[in-house]
Amino acid sequence: MNKISNYIQGNWIDGDGEELTAYNAINGDAIGVVSSEGLDYKGMLDYARNVGGPALRKMTFQERGRMLKALALHLTERKEKFYALSAATGATRVDSWIDIEGGIGNLFAYASLRKQFPDLPYAVEGDVVPLSKGGSFIGHHILVPKRGVAVHINAFNFPIWGMLEKIAVNLLAGVPAVVKPSELTSYLTELMVREIVESGILPAGSLQLVSGLGRGIIDHVTNQDVVTFTGSAATGMKLKTLPHIVANSVPFNLEADSLNASMLGEDAAPGTPEFDLFIKATRAEITVKAGQKCTAIRRIIVPEKYMEDVQIALGKQLQKTVMGDPSVEGVRMGALAAKVQVERVRKSVESLMEEQEIVYGNLDDFEVTGADKSKGAFFSPILFRNDDPFTKTKVHEIEAFGPVSTLLPYKDMDEAIRITEMGRGSLVTSIVTADDALAKEFTLNTAHLHGRILILNERCAKESTGHGSPMPLLSHGGPGRAGGGEEMGGVRGVKHYMQRTAIQGHPETITRITEQFQVGADQPEANPHVFRQHFEELRVGDTVFTHKHTVTDADIVNFANVSGDNFYAHMDVTSLEGTIFEQRVAHGYFLLSKAAGLFVDPKKGPVLLNYGVEQARFTKPVYSGATVGVRFTVKEKIDQEKRSEDDIAKGIVKFLVDMYDETGETVAIATILTMVKKLDQS
Q: Summarize pLDDT for 467-522 with one digit per residue, the tens.
A: 988 889 999 999 988 888 889 889 999 999 999 999 999 999 999 999 999 999 99
Region(s) of the chain under CATH 3.40.605.10: 3-135+147-255+492-498
Q: Within the chain, which residue ranges are assigned CATH 3.40.309.10?
A: 261-472
Phi, psi of 510 (to 5 degrees): -65, -35
| Average pLDDT, integer, range 89-115 | 94
Q: Report pTM.
A: 0.91
CATH class of the domain comprising 3-135+147-255+492-498? alpha beta
* Span(s) in the chain for CATH 3.10.129.10: 503-677
> How confident is the model over 297-335, as pLDDT tens digits?
999 999 999 999 999 999 999 999 999 999 999 999 999
Q: What is the C-alpha to C-alpha distance for residues 54 and 206, in angstroms, rounded to an integer? A: 9
Are residues 225 and 151 in contact, defined by beta-carbon separation less than 8 angstroms? yes
Q: What is the DSSP letter of 52?
A: I
Q: What is the pLDDT of residue 611?
A: 87
Classify domain 261-472 by CATH number: 3.40.309.10
503-677 belongs to CATH 3.40.50.2300 = no
Phi first, then psi, for residue 594 (nearest 5°) are -65, -35
d(CA 225, CA 233): 21
What's the CA gap between 66 and 639, in Å, rounded? 12
**What is residue 639's predicted lDDT score, i.e. its pLDDT?**
86
CA 297-474-208 angle, to 5 degrees, is 95
C-beta of residue 291 within 8 angstroms of C-beta of residue 401: yes
Q: Is 495 helix (H, G, I), strand (E, B) or coil?
A: helix
Per the prediction, the chain carries an average pLDDT of: 94
Residues above pLDDT 90, as percent of the chain: 86
Residue 253 has pLDDT above 80, yes or no: yes
Please state, in angstroms and rounded to a whole number, the distance separating the CA atoms of residues 471 and 461: 16
| pLDDT for the residue numbered 256 | 86
Phi (first) and psi of residue 110, to 5 degrees: -75, -25
Phi, psi of 252 (to 5 degrees): -135, 115
For the chain, the first-to-last Cα distance in angstroms comes to 51
Quote the Cα angle for 110-114-119, to 5°: 155
CB-based contacts of 247: which residues, under 8 Å, 6+ apart? none
> Quick check: 118 and 638 in contact, CB under 8 A?
yes
Confidence label for 247 from pLDDT (cuts 50, 70 and 90): very high
Judge if the upstream peptide bond of residue 524 is cis by omega within 30 degrees of 0: no
What is residue 279's predicted lDDT score, i.e. its pLDDT? 96
The catalytic residue positions are: 255, 294
Of 16, 131, 596, 90, nearest in space to 323 by CA:
90
List, as own/partner pairs, every contact residues 411-419 make where C-beta atoms lie below 8 angstroms and the sequence separation is at least 24, other chains included: 411/304, 413/266, 413/438, 413/441, 413/442, 416/263, 416/301, 416/442, 417/442, 417/445, 417/446, 418/390, 419/261, 419/299, 419/301, 419/389, 419/390
pLDDT confidence of residue 667 = 95
